[in-house]
Amino acid sequence: VFASADHNLAALGNELAVRGVNRVIGAATGRIISASGFEPSGVAGFHLPAGRFATADTVLEDVANMGLPELRPRVQQLRLELSRLSGGSIEHCFALLLVDAESRCEERLAAMLGMELNGMPLIGGSAGDLYFNPLGHPPGSTRLLYHGSAKRSAAVLCMVASASPVVAYCHNHYIQSDKKFVITDADPARRLVREIDGRPALEVYAAACGFRRPPRESRDFAPFPLMIRIGGHYYPRGMQRIYPDGALEFACALEPGLVVALAKPGDMIASLDGLFATMRQRIGVPELVIGVDCAARTAYMEREGLTQGIETLLLRHAVTGFSSLGEQFNTIHANNSFTCLGVASLS
């Protein structure tokens, strides 16, 4: 389940348990993606029925301090459990990851899990509402739900075996420009960038985007994320907070010496339509698409008046999901992306 941040996850878990729904995982978020489109308040979700699907899941407590020695046996145990539950038939399978965004460990976590999953598609999202609500959650609030219990500073990993084919994508509508820069002063652990090309980061970034004066709101930079190249593909890196001293906090870590390219937005609706066309070629019209849409993309869509066109495509392809503070795809922690997994119909 995916619930807007105004919901109490513990209470939601209790209500579901009263109705006999105990095997449930979930995330709190600024926007949910439901049968009604993008909603700032509400609950959405999907059900994987036994007979067609087998699932094995675990909660990773204090995930920021978890290393490979602790993670590896958990993944191996899930694989064994999934094989047992599915009768050894795991030809079509995937992993779903939900992470508390406040843990700020997604880069390392995705890299470790991606290696341990050994080719099993992984998609995921970072839960939270900091993009739409910069003041954050009230003290003590939770962002994850696991089997009826609300969790914080954790991650939930679920492996799924499916009777029908699945396909996963990490999509964005940005186009890299010929403007390239070097990160010269950064704190990757805090995802801070202080200098670009040896000058104050905010000054350089704002000028590159064409702003006469540096904006005060991070969302003004949403149409122009920085892009890095990984394995022949460009992935956007969006900025989510401006500090009084001009330092910039990004949704993903950027290291000193990294070469980045400035991006500009393409046609958001046309590019998403192209993604779904590719999906239909692979698996036909999907019965379900689990979609994780970066909150910066969602905000850009709302600001540019693109909501109805995007919602039409999502509804046509049975997308259920949420707006995230980062997306996980195989070994990569991405952002400013629409990361999704399509499940084919049995018919």
Residues making up the chain, counted from first to last: 347
Residue 140 scores a pLDDT above 80: no
- pLDDT score for 217: 83
Percent of the chain with pLDDT over 70: 97
Residue 120 scores a pLDDT above 90: yes
- pLDDT score for 130: 76
- pLDDT score for 212: 87
Backbone angles phi, psi at 141, to 5 degrees: -70, 160
Which residues, other chains included, contact 244 with Cβ-Cβ below 8 Å and sequence gap of 6+?
none
The mean predicted confidence, pLDDT, of the chain is 93
Residue 136 scores a pLDDT above 70: no
Residue 214 scores a pLDDT above 90: no
Percent of the chain with pLDDT over 90: 81
Which range is least confidently modeled, 80-84, 86-90, 241-245? Answer: 86-90
Backbone angles phi, psi at 283, to 5 degrees: -130, 5
The answer to whether 57 touches 94, Cβ cutoff 8 Å, is no
Cα distances (angstroms) measured from residue 156 to each of 62, 253, 297, 303, 322: 11, 22, 24, 32, 16
| Band (137; pLDDT cuts 50, 70, 90) | low
Residue 347 scores a pLDDT above 80: no
Q: What is the pLDDT of residues 289-309, one digit of tens each?
A: 999 999 989 988 998 999 999
Residue 182 scores a pLDDT above 80: yes
pTM: 0.93
Residue 346 scores a pLDDT above 80: yes
Which residue has tokens 């907070």?
241
Tell me the average pLDDT across 225-238: 90
Q: What is the pLDDT of residues 190-207, one digit of tens each?
A: 999 999 999 999 999 999
- pLDDT score for 138: 61
| Band (336; pLDDT cuts 50, 70, 90) | very high
Q: What is the pLDDT of residues 87-97, one digit of tens each?
A: 876 679 999 99
Tell me the average pLDDT across 239-268: 93
Cα distances (angstroms) measured from residue 28 to each of 1, 25, 220, 289, 306: 9, 11, 25, 19, 24
Tell me the average pLDDT across 207-224: 88
| 3-state DSSP assignment of residue 298 | helix
Tell me the average pLDDT across 268-279: 98
Put residue 231 in one of left, alpha, beta given phi > 0 → left and psi -120 to 50 → alpha: left
Q: What is the pLDDT of residues 27-60, one digit of tens each?
A: 999 999 999 999 999 999 999 999 899 999 999 9
